[in-house]
Structure 1
Amino acid sequence: MGLRSNVFLLCALLFFVCLTKLSLHSRYPNIEKLIKKDGEFYVDSPSCKMPKMDPFSEDIMQFFKRKEFKECSTDNDLVISQFDPKLRQYRIHIDENTADKLLKNVGNATIKCEYHVIGRNKSAFIPDNDFSFSGPKPLIKSLLVPKDIDFIIVQCFAVNAKKELELLQENAFLFVQDRLDNKTDNLGGGRPDEESKPNVIILGIDSTSRLNLRRSMPKLLEFLERPGWFEMQGYNKVGENTLPNLLAILTGNAEEKSLLEGKFRRSSFINNLNYIWRRFKKYGYMTAFGEDCAQINTFNYQKPGFKNQPVDYYLRNFINALEANLKTRRDFGNVFCLGRRLSFRYIFDFAKQFMQRFQSKAPIFGLFWSNSFTHEDFLGATALDRVFWEYLLVYDALGLFERSIVLVLSDHGYRYGVTRRSATSGYLEERLPMMFIYVPPWFRARYPQYVENLKRNRNRLSSSFDLHMTLHHLLQLNVTSMSDFSPSLQASQCKECQSLFFELPYNRICSQAGIREKWCSCEPTQTVTDSKHTRKIALEVVRQMNQHLEDRNLTKLCENYSLKMVLHMDRKMPVTDESVEDDERHTYIITFDTWPKSAHFEATVQWNTQKESLNMNVDEISRLESYNEYSKCTKDPIIKKYCICIPFK
């Protein structure tokens, strides 16, 4: 009898395995081509199935090509900046050998150098979009930079008989000035115990999925796989573009309702948000924020930015001044070179100086964000790989990784172009940005339970709201559970979100992580092949888009749409019995082209099969190509997505 029972159980088990495989293949047609051989899912729980896609699948590699990295200049620096540790001041000086070489090319001439001081124009209507620029001041051989100067541009000319012949070289310098002299708490006994107040550094690269990281940046990935690094493979974005995803990290609220209501057009609104760096400041941290590509900065694109400087060290006005005054070179679709240097280097040199100035004096919190390589071109990451890797090596040599919690992350994957239009993995690439967290050796020794939780959480569903709670946790590492957190610290948009140092729920669903249905990557999809069905839904989507234009009084500004073609439609498949749709209502992801201008859209919609009715939010529709050229008649970031401006508007 026992033998028969065992045989029965074995047969039942085999039947269950076969049934599971059958179910899996019905939900993921062509799964063998899409999923890596070493495992099927990033997240594999009863309520979340997040497929592990192959970064090197044929449908994406046909567009993949490594780009060559080109420095902005290869000549030697005529003016050099150095920090004097005894005086705790910067000194700039003219390099005589370089000067002699440059002067040989212009005949009988001498060198004349002068500098302009860059500052924040506090009296400007929009201070974040302006800068102050002093008149020329002479630079004779060297200058001990006064502590009240943060940024300068230096110009050196070849002159003959007081007549300027030509500009020899132009350079810009930033100085993270040490202004701790008059502060009290942190100076008495030097820097506080780094185990109670660790440095917190966030290094961000725009539009980089965890898949494209593997495809494009092998050297960076190799560094991020060193001991102490933990990749959150189930990290899912919570909003469309940079702003909501960064706000979720920095404030605990993606503020998408505020975007729809146009509140971000007022600088007072942006200033009044409760940024995490304010809490770090209250705990004695020095704070910094730098971002390249001024025209598309997170808080400034179609928005007024900060009326008051938000952190101790802020790079916005410096980058503005450089883009306005230096010769620029565009590459990968963005301002790439500012004079003789990469815009990227200004941001990551800023981070290096910030670390150097305070590593023995005060704890630091810094956010350093780059758009220049990756915002417009998913292949730009291939040129960035070595540059980013070399900076991490420099930071390592400075001791950053001995005393700091470091985050290397992105806001989202690539949102338009060939990865979204043609690659099967594009839908997931957009929703699954890279996210790595590093904890130093002392942290691993002192908090082994947190390290174990990071290991478990690598393959749990997580979001930027969890990351927000993790930042709060770093200011109170002695707490033992989320119940020890003050309710006032909880992410306002996700009350169930928690620190990554605590174990995330195994059976978590997207809503519990603050991730809306549109962005949720937990549900498998099945391609719909019934062309009549797909066209019927697409026509209703376009009809509702046109109705939306009418309801928002946009018909005199924006063209009406007509359906050109349906490119693809997937149906989201329920994962658990609890999430099964009713028989009448199904959720679809549909991509389609419209006239005019062959605009390319993606919409997540609910379709009632009995009533043949559609439920969708037009404001949540995604545009899968760059649309700025056709949407210049409006500055509203939401309307821009679906407005094709009527000519001459």
Structure 2
Amino acid sequence: MSRSRFKLTKKKSFYFAIFAVFCYIFFRVEVAVLTPMFSESQLFFKRYLLRTPGCSLPLYDSYHWTVGLSLSEDVPYERSCSVQEPNILAQHFGRIFINASALRRLYNVSQLDTTCYYREVLRNESAREPDNTPMLGPRVPLELGDRLNAEYVQVTCEAHGKSLFKEYFLLPQSKPLATNDTEANGAKPPRNERAMSVLILGVDSTSRMNFHRHMVKTGRYLEAELNAFEFIALNKVEDNTFPNLIPLLTGMSGSEAESVYTRYGKFDPLPLIWNKYKLNGYTTLYMEEWPYTGIFVYSTFPGLMKVPTDYYPTSILRMMDDENLQKKKCMGSRLKTKVLIDYLADVLKLNHERPMFSFVWLTYLTHDNVNGLQLLDDSLELFLRELATYGVLKNTALLFMSDHGLRMGSMSMTEIGRYENKNPFCFLALPKRFLADNPVAAAHLEVNQRRLTTNYDLHATLIALSEWPKFVPNSTDKGLSLFGPIPPERTCADASIPRHFCACLDASRSVNDPKVSLHFALHAVDYVNALAKLHFQESCVVWQLGSVDRASILGRSADDAVQLRVQITTVPEAVFEVYGTLGTLSLSVKSVDLVLRLDKYANQTTCLPRSRWQKICMCKSYLLSRSSTTRETLSLRLGFW
């Protein structure tokens, strides 16, 4: 009997393997062949999500077969944390307690035999890059159960002269209110009890469609309980996080912010939105979950020179990542993201009687995995319910949003994925009294849910909120406040959205002449190779054109040159999307305007220094380490021949 079961199991395994191979081949054929065949038709959508004179957005099926394989991708993060050693310590209202039974079970020692110490995690203000240089304060004996006055701490415990474990804690502490002393420096005390708190809660790389796939409970709570406005046509304005969040935080473009950095050698002079709130007497918080890829350490930038806000846990988050990059998503057996959500809730409850501005950006679970978002649904719904129960949301404007959709991986190589990348989710929930006091603004919000909007508009909206109850929804250089009218005729050009990133349906059509797309694709590969050599000398492989996966004509320029978008696969394997112009008569390439990398490449660029140009490279050392590559193929791909 057991032998027959064994044979049956082997047969099932064999059939499962055949099925898995078939699914993989089917997906590759879909990406390389079927999707381009149908990309210029309306087979993928039959209705419109938005249809105004200025912009039409397609209504796609969120579970269309072309994205099916991507949506089956595993999400191992929570499992990888749960198998870690459980946390021995826990904190509650600034007090740290020990789990005596877990201590006995794991370390075979009693609480009486255990001595614990804490050290403050500090920002090294004398360092060249304070944001990137955490430091520890002196070691202090920890009395378990006593309230600590330290804000960010590292705790170590030992028994019988042997070190047992190390844990980190974020302990919310009250901050001093603005006083006459600070008023002399420009800050004002809170103007009146009607001042409204503002919470910007961001989840990285999350499209509107993916939010509705995975955040069912949170979405239902936002709509049914908080009556949130959903801005379905929020369009990103640039490629990645930095140039999309700079417009939100400053009203400036990413390139304008870089010009400020070039002039002053730091980002501190930027008109960051929390400074405006701080001048109006607000307590402020700024927290990015992933300090290595933070807004102001993007590329080779050094971070901020001065502490920007009252609550700023960058140093402890950086130290935790420095210590164990392989387990950066975990704090012991818990997901770090969930720990930080709990910390945020504690800070907001601690400050619920004073006006507070908070900017929080969560990254780990969603940056690389289209399905990681599902791990946040329960936690964020509970977070919102907890704040509502405590009364925090009665006087808080909640802006819940993302910067863009998923930019890399198999999803981004599909038509639907390319659209999702440009259309991040965005909700705005406002206190009932605000809407009752401002019926005209409420009416505009209702209409503007179905208007083309950007982070420039969100910035103008935040400026208006900072002056509440004095309320004037003025526009800025590039943005229109959501509290005022946004014209239905608005186009991407009107909204300062480059054509490359515009989600609105255009009149693009497939390139009929393969010579045109091939000519441009070959030039694009040469261009990427030249860029790689310019920035990284001889560290990168030499790309060769593998295939032209799709090519579209976007329009014509004033001199009758053709504007193209071409997706190519190279050898060694990488996937690029390239935008540029091509002369119609001589097929001379006028320019390459933008190069995007669609496949995941982080593990291929570890030989490189921190740089925005990593996307154009695959390290030669990475290719050499792949044991399946033959010597001859290596020589060809590395450019030795």
User: How high is the TM-score relative to the length of structure 1?
Assistant: 0.80
Shift of 1:109: 6.6
Give the letter for the 1:527 counterpart. Answer: S
Match status 1:628 vs 2:602: yes
Give the letter for the 1:234 counterpart. Answer: A
Shift of 1:427: 1.2
The aligned counterpart of 1:269 is 266
The aligned counterpart of 2:573 is 598
Shift of 1:343: 1.8
Distance 1:105 1:431, change over 3 A: same
Contact 2:464–2:472 (Cα < 8 Å) also in 1: no
Match status 1:402 vs 2:390: no
Between the aligned partners of 2:615 and 2:103, the Cα distance in structure 1 is 55
Between the aligned partners of 1:460 and 1:107, the Cα distance in structure 2 is 63
The aligned counterpart of 1:505 is 487
Match status 1:33 vs 2:9: no
Contact 1:395–1:401 (Cα < 8 Å) also in 2: yes
The aligned counterpart of 1:568 is 550
For residue 342 of structure 2, the aligned residue among 329, 349, 356 is 349
Per-residue CA deviations over 1:591-622 (Å, capped at 9, x if unaligned) read 00223x2221101223332342334345x210
The aligned counterpart of 1:588 is 564
Match status 1:435 vs 2:434: no
Match status 1:173 vs 2:169: yes
The aligned counterpart of 2:588 is 613
Alignment map for 1:281-300 (pairs within 5 Å): 281-300=278-297
For residue 381 of structure 2, the aligned residue among 356, 369, 389 is 389
Shift of 1:198: 0.9
SS at match of 2:176: coil
Contact 1:185–1:284 (Cα < 8 Å) also in 2: no
Match status 1:535 vs 2:527: no
Distance 1:53 1:529, change over 3 A: farther
Between the aligned partners of 2:214 and 2:577, the Cα distance in structure 1 is 26
Alignment map for 1:72-83 (pairs within 5 Å): 72=81, 78-83=88-93
Give the letter for the 1:448 counterpart. Answer: P
Alignment map for 1:245-394 (pairs within 5 Å): 245-256=244-255, 259=258, 268-301=265-298, 302-325=300-323, 330=327, 335-360=328-353, 362-394=354-386
Contact 1:523–1:572 (Cα < 8 Å) also in 2: no
Shift of 1:633: 5.5
Shift of 1:214: 1.6
Contact 1:347–1:368 (Cα < 8 Å) also in 2: no
SS at match of 1:377: coil
Shift of 1:194: 5.0
Between the aligned partners of 1:30 and 1:184, the Cα distance in structure 2 is 65
Shift of 1:135: 3.6
Contact 1:119–1:150 (Cα < 8 Å) also in 2: no
The aligned counterpart of 2:118 is 115
Between the aligned partners of 1:630 and 1:230, the Cα distance in structure 2 is 41
Gaps of 5+ in 1: 1-25, 84-89, 574-579
Per-residue CA deviations over 1:401-429 (Å, capped at 9, x if unaligned) read 211110111111000101112x2211111
Contact 2:86–2:332 (Cα < 8 Å) also in 1: no
SS at match of 1:52: strand
Per-residue CA deviations over 1:344-398 (Å, capped at 9, x if unaligned) read 13432232122112211x2111011111101111121122222222222222222
Match status 1:143 vs 2:146: yes
Between the aligned partners of 1:100 and 1:544, the Cα distance in structure 2 is 59
Contact 1:561–1:594 (Cα < 8 Å) also in 2: yes
Between the aligned partners of 1:216 and 1:543, the Cα distance in structure 2 is 40
Give the letter for the 2:233 counterpart. Answer: G
Give the letter for the 1:310 counterpart. Answer: P
The aligned counterpart of 1:239 is 238
Between the aligned partners of 2:107 and 2:297, the Cα distance in structure 1 is 45
User: How high is the TM-score relative to the length of structure 2?
Assistant: 0.81
SS at match of 2:490: coil
Per-residue CA deviations over 1:95-142 (Å, capped at 9, x if unaligned) read 6x6478558944797222221211111112211111121343212343
The aligned counterpart of 2:60 is 53
Give the letter for the 1:238 counterpart. Answer: V
The aligned counterpart of 1:4 is none
The aligned counterpart of 1:155 is 156
Contact 1:328–1:337 (Cα < 8 Å) also in 2: no
Between the aligned partners of 1:57 and 1:99, the Cα distance in structure 2 is 47
Give the letter for the 2:426 counterpart. Answer: M
Contact 2:509–2:554 (Cα < 8 Å) also in 1: yes
Contact 2:95–2:144 (Cα < 8 Å) also in 1: no
Give the letter for the 1:314 counterpart. Answer: Y
SS at match of 2:44: helix
Contact 1:463–1:513 (Cα < 8 Å) also in 2: yes
Percent identity between matched residues is 26
Contact 1:567–1:593 (Cα < 8 Å) also in 2: yes
Shift of 1:308: 1.1
Between the aligned partners of 2:602 and 2:261, the Cα distance in structure 1 is 19
Between the aligned partners of 1:107 and 1:387, the Cα distance in structure 2 is 33
SS at match of 1:474: helix
Shift of 1:431: 0.8
CA-based RMSD:
3.4
The 10-residue stretch of structure 1 (552-561 or 634-643) with the greater mean CA deviation from structure 2: 552-561
- For this pair of structures, how many residues does the alignment match? 577
Distance 1:28 1:458, change over 3 A: farther
Contact 2:257–2:267 (Cα < 8 Å) also in 1: no
Higher helix share: 2
Shift of 1:264: 5.5
Give the letter for the 1:205 counterpart. Answer: V
Between the aligned partners of 1:181 and 1:564, the Cα distance in structure 2 is 62
Give the letter for the 2:545 counterpart. Answer: L
